[in-house]
Amino acid sequence: MMKTTTESMLLVGESGVGKTHYGAQLLKRLLNSGGQFRMNGAATNLEPFEATMECLNDGRSAAHTPTSTYVDSEWPIVGPGGHTFTLVWPDYGGEQVKTFLNSRRVPSAWRRRVTTTSAWVLMLRLHQLRVSDDLLSKPLASLADGEADDTTSDKLLQLSDQARMIELLQILLYLRGDGVGETTNLPQLCLLLSCWDELGENEPPAIMLMRQLPLLSEFIASNWSHPIILGLSALERPLDKTVPDEEYITRGPEQFGYIVLPDGKATPDLTFPLTVLLESPEE
Amino acid sequence: MKCPHENCFAPDTTCALGNLFFKDCARWNGVEKPDAEISRSDDEIVLPWSGSALGRSDIAFVTGRRSPTTIGVFGPENAGKTSLLAAWYLLIGRGATLSDRYKFAGSFTLPGWEAVARTMQWMPGAPPEFPAHTSTRGSREQGLLHLAFCEDRSRLRDYLFADAPGLWFQRWAINEEAPDARGARWIVKNADAFILTADCAALSGPDRGSARAALQLLARRLGANRRGRPVALVWTKSDIQVTPAMQAAVRDAVRSQIPNCEEFAISMQARPGDTAGVGMGLTDLLRHTLQIRRLTQALPPSGAKTHDPLFLFGTRS
């Protein structure tokens, strides 16, 4: 297994999936050496996470990352077995993703990121995504026992949630210069189903994905031979923007958050997704 | 403003000559552009697919990777052609359809599919209904909707579904050279398989006589033009009863022209007691359609005794 010394991952997610929160929590774990991976020296720039870490220390959730931001911070990391590398962790406002889905134009900087990264991490907040009922699944005759629609997701391009995610992955594949369906030499794909605590489920993440977004699940299975699907709860519980969480203040945010492994078991090691970077790319 | 190249629709889509950035294209550089356009497009990559139904020039992008199987859905107006496609998309979207053999692997017309299926979905405040009429207007030849499936977890297959207005087919059935039937002729020329829809509502309604006649005419025209390609006769809205005599008349007319056509009955209404939410016959028809393969040329048996390809043909045995 040949590994270069710089591993960068492309972190993709729409706004509100918790990219910055996870970044800040991951950083805390790396600094406190709580997991398989730890920080090996000092990161170049912690500015993007400064405010978020501050908020978490006070037991509050952080504000939204501005759209125009795109900051790469480089973290020197040592992994299990003394393997050292530099992780490039991006922080940006999720609207950028929305913008290029809408305008069908992608800034060339994104192409560079897509082509140079060895792993893609797609963050999805399953709780906000769903498949609508239709005439077949819920015929007109059963209208009487209809349930109220409880989501208020804004429809982008009026694409359904899973179609939007598929289109996003197709765009990334196109930018990479490979066609959809060419499963050779694709970067490893890791799906992080964020805000797992909202779901209140104990099923393995892949099952949850298949149940909630079957089309996306099939698309990923068709195009990646070994995708990694994990659940992520970066904060472990919902935090308020203004009202501080007492336990967070006392115990520290590094005591919170977990990853749900493919078998459905949870681990407090938030650095686990980094192992996807160390796995050899798809054969 | 548009690129002078006849098949290039820059800046709406990618450069037809394959340049990732417009500024690298000589044809594009030859046109005068407003300053705003220059600064906007030089640092951006335009995606080659718009997501809407594909037009004639757009299909090059899909056909580039492999030859897709093109399915033409034929039938008179209001026969449920678009509803059939919409129902398929909804079923695939719910993962409710296919065997393990076929897995969805992508689509370059997702917004196009969504536009077709939207009316059949439950949206807050609006109950679902069947898709509205497919318009004859518009300059595009017809909309082709794309789906890719992964077969047996290994092989990728592309499918294009032609969603065309019924009026084209009615015109074409009456006059093969009708100027407003160009789209129908394109589909007949390029499709690999056909679905002929027989509308049970029309065949049992007050105008059933003319519905039967129109369908017979269309079957005759299709039979004369299909050149051995497979046809499936699909009874749409099959929850509505058609008299056996009428059924026989249609079936005989179609079978006399297309002897080996397969028959399906579909409906958005599931059979009583069926709670799977997949309508009736829709998944069977989809599975059948995905299995259709393009007719291939078979080389004549060589009769040679050697395995050396150089001497395979032309030898006298």
> Distance (Å) from the C-alpha of residue A200 to the closest C-alpha of chain B?
22
Q: How confident is the model at residue A145 (pLDDT cuts 50, 70, 90)?
A: very low
Chain-centre distance for alpha carbon A36: 19
- Residue B194, Cβ density class (10 Å: 0-12 exposed, 13-18 middle, ≥19 buried): buried
Compare CB distances from B121 to A134, A170, A179 and report the shortest one's residue: A134
Q: CB–CB of A137 and B277 under 8 A?
A: yes
For residue B108, list chain A residues with Cβ-Cβ distance below 8 A.
170
Test the B interface: residue of A111, A134, A217, A224 with most B CBs within 10 Å = A134
> Distance (Å) from the C-alpha of residue A149 to the closest C-alpha of chain B?
7
A13 DSSP β-pair partners: A123
Q: How confident is the model at residue A178 (pLDDT cuts 50, 70, 90)?
A: low
Average the pLDDT over A48-62 and give the result. Answer: 84
- The answer to whether residues A247 and A59 touch, using CB atoms and an 8 Å cutoff, is yes
Top-confidence residue, B98 or A93: A93
Q: What CA–CA distances, in Å, run from B260 to B42, B197, B226, B228? A: 55, 16, 12, 10
DSSP code for B31: S
For residue B120, list chain A residues with Cβ-Cβ distance below 8 A.
134-136
Percent of chain B scored above 70 by pLDDT? 83
For position B133, what pLDDT does the model report? 57
Does the pLDDT at position B142 exceed 60?
Answer: no
Q: CB–CB of B47 and A149 under 8 A?
A: no
Does the pLDDT at position A120 exceed 60?
Answer: yes
- The answer to whether residues B192 and B71 touch, using CB atoms and an 8 Å cutoff, is yes
Test the B interface: residue of A114, A135, A224 with most B CBs within 10 Å = A135
Cβ atoms within 10 A of the Cβ of B237, count?
24
For residue A218, list chain B residues with Cβ-Cβ distance below 8 A.
95, 103-105
Q: CB–CB of B90 and A221 under 8 A?
A: no
| C-alpha angle B160-B149-A210 in degrees, rounded to nearest 5 | 130
For residue B20, list chain A residues with Cβ-Cβ distance below 8 A.
111
Tens digits of per-residue pLDDT, B176-198?
888 888 888 988 998 999 999 99
Distance CA B215, CA B76 (A): 7
Does the pLDDT at position B21 exceed 90?
Answer: no
Q: How confident is the model at residue B232 (pLDDT cuts 50, 70, 90)?
A: very high
Tens digits of per-residue pLDDT, A228-251?
999 998 888 888 888 888 888 888
Does the pLDDT at position B37 exceed 60?
Answer: no
Does the pLDDT at position A156 exceed 50?
Answer: no
A70 DSSP β-pair partners: A92
Q: Amino acid identity, residue B267? A: S
Does the pLDDT at position B219 exceed 90?
Answer: yes
Q: How confident is the model at residue A62 (pLDDT cuts 50, 70, 90)?
A: confident
Superfamily of domain A6-133+161-278: P-loop containing nucleotide triphosphate hydrolases (3.40.50.300)
Q: CB–CB of B122 and A170 under 8 A?
A: no
Read off the pTM. 0.83
Compare CB distances from A218 to B104, B120, B128 and report the shortest one's residue: B104
Q: Specify the residue for token string 């270069």.
A: A4
Q: A192: helix, coil or strand?
A: strand
Q: Specify the residue for token string 């395979």.
A: B312
Q: Amino acid identity, residue B211? A: A
- The answer to whether residues B111 and A159 touch, using CB atoms and an 8 Å cutoff, is yes
A9 DSSP β-pair partners: A119
Query: What is chain B's mean pLDDT, rounded?
Result: 81
Of the listed ranges A76-85, B175-184, B220-229, the least confidently predicted one is: A76-85
Average the pLDDT over A12-23 and give the result. Answer: 84
Q: How confident is the model at residue B33 (pLDDT cuts 50, 70, 90)?
A: low
B26: Cβ contacts below 8 Å, ≥ 6 apart? none
Does the pLDDT at position A84 exceed 70?
Answer: yes
Distance CA B306, CA B314 (A): 12
Closest CA to A5 of A36, A48, A41, A32: A41
Write the Ramachandran bin of A82: left for phi over 0, alpha for psi from -120 to 50, otherwise beta: left
Does the pLDDT at position B71 exceed 90?
Answer: yes
For residue B51, list chain A residues with Cβ-Cβ distance below 8 A.
104, 157, 167
A60: Cβ contacts below 8 Å, ≥ 6 apart? A239, A240, A241, A242, A243, A244, A245
Average the pLDDT over B112-128 and give the result. Answer: 70
Does the pLDDT at position B150 exceed 80?
Answer: yes
Q: Specify the residue for token string 């999936």.
A: A17
- The predicted complex's ipTM stands at 0.82
For position A4, what pLDDT does the model report? 44
Compare CB distances from A222 to B43, B92, B104 and report the shortest one's residue: B104
For position B218, what pLDDT does the model report? 92
Q: Specify the residue for token string 């697919």.
A: B49
Top-confidence residue, B152 or A181: B152
Closest CA to A278 of A33, A29, A79, A24: A79
Sheet holding B69-74, edge to edge: B102-106, B143-151, B155-163, B69-74, B193-199, B231-236, B262-265
For residue A104, list chain B residues with Cβ-Cβ distance below 8 A.
46-47, 50-51
For residue A161, list chain B residues with Cβ-Cβ distance below 8 A.
none
For residue A140, list chain B residues with Cβ-Cβ distance below 8 A.
127-128
Length of chain B: 317
Distance CA B158, CA B294 (A): 12
Q: CB–CB of B277 and A167 under 8 A?
A: no
Average the pLDDT over B94-121 and give the result. Answer: 80
Q: How confident is the model at residue B301 (pLDDT cuts 50, 70, 90)?
A: confident
Q: What CA–CA distances, in Å, run from A282 to A1, A277, A278, B5? A: 12, 12, 12, 39
Does the pLDDT at position B170 exceed 80?
Answer: yes
- The answer to whether residues B230 and B193 touch, using CB atoms and an 8 Å cutoff, is yes
Compare CB distances from A162 to B46, B93, B96 and report the shortest one's residue: B93
| Domains of chain B as residue ranges with CATH | 1-48 (no CATH), 59-290 (3.40.50.300)
> Distance (Å) from the C-alpha of residue B115 to the closest C-alpha of chain A?
8
Does the pLDDT at position A283 exceed 60?
Answer: no
Q: B133: helix, coil or strand?
A: coil
Q: How confident is the model at residue B26 (pLDDT cuts 50, 70, 90)?
A: confident
Test the A interface: residue of B24, B107, B108 with most A CBs within 10 Å = B107
Chain B's closest residue to A167, CA to CA, is B110
